[in-house]
Structure 1
Amino acid sequence: MNGGRKEKRSHQRVEVLLFGGTQRLSGEWASTENISSNGMRVRTDRPWKPESRLRLTSRMGDLWATARVVYCHPDGPNTFALGLELARTGKGA
């Protein structure tokens, strides 16, 4: 049995804007570390609660997703690594 991931991950870096449940007008910029069709790992400046829901969009606004925070680990001074499970994705106009 293979202990690896089910899917290959791309190490592509994409700037994304994260919006939490009550953040409607302002968000937080984050950078992806790896991406698959089911999830991604992003670096952010603040902690997020596991199991919280968020929305994200790419800098160009052409990609969007809703996601669940699977984990949030400290990753240096004032930096956190988030594991996100994508619930729904799409492409904008």
Structure 2
Amino acid sequence: MSDFKNIFGSPSIKDDGEHWLTVSDLMSGLMIVFLFIAIAFMRHVSIERDKIKDVAVAYQENQVAIYDALMNEFESDLSAWKASIDQET
């Protein structure tokens, strides 16, 4: 038993809890690192969402423009051809 005390030291009876201050400081620093990672990820997701929204709006605008161009070009011929242009497809 005396070898154990020599190697590891005898446990102190008085414990001020100073080691918990160091651990809590480390945990606070780790929390801040994860907070910055979360903020960066949220910003990246927001940018990607905006890009997808822009693509969807551009697709819809192009679809309307194609329909208008087809109607302007073939409006007089559609009745002779007995055809129609579907705005959705």
- Structure having the larger proportion of residues in strand: 1
TM range (shorter): under 0.3
TM (norm. structure 2) is 0.17
Mark the structure with the bigger radius of gyration.
2
Higher relative contact order, chain-length normalized (CA < 8 Å, sep 6+): 1
TM (norm. structure 1) is 0.16
- Structure having the larger proportion of residues in helix: 2
